[in-house]
Amino acid sequence: MERWPWPSGGAWLLVAARALLQLLRADLRLGRPLLAALALLAALDWLCQRLLPPPAALAVLAAAGWIALSRLARPPRLPVATRAVLITGCDSGFGKETAKKLDSMGFTVLATVLELNSPGALELRACCSARLKLLQMDLTKPADISRVLEFTKAHTTNTGLWGLVNNAGYNEVVADVELSPVAMFRTCMEVNFFGVLELTKGLLPLLRHSRGRIVTVGSPAGDMPYPCLAAYGTSKAAVVLLMDTFSCELVPWGVKVSVVQPGCFKTGSVTNVDEWEQRKELLLANLPQDLLQVYGKDYIEHLHRQFLHSLSMALPDLSPVVDAIIDALLAAEPRRRYFPGRGLGLMYFIHYYLPESLRRRFLQAFFINHRLPRALQPGHPGPTSAQGPNPSPGSSPVVAR
Catalytic-residue membership of 299: no
Q: In this structure, are residues 342 and 315 in contact, taking their beta carbons and an 8 Å threshold? A: yes
> In terms of C-beta density within 10 A (0-12 exposed, 13-18 middle, 19 or more buried), how is residue 99 classed?
buried
Nearest 5°: phi and psi at 260? -105, 120
Q: In this structure, are residues 294 and 186 in contact, taking their beta carbons and an 8 Å threshold? A: no
Compute the half-sphere exposure of residue 49: CA atoms within 13 Å on the CB side of its CA: 16
User: CA-CA distance, 115 to 249, in Å (whole number)?
Assistant: 34
- The catalytically annotated residue of 232, 295, 299, 338 is 232
| 230-249 vs 182-189: helix crossing angle, rounded to 10 | 30
User: CA-CA distance, 330 to 80, in Å (whole number)?
Assistant: 8
> How far is C-alpha 142 from the chain's CA centre?
25
Pick the closest to residue 175 from 264, 276, 265, 263 (CA basis). 276
As annotated, the active-site residues are 232
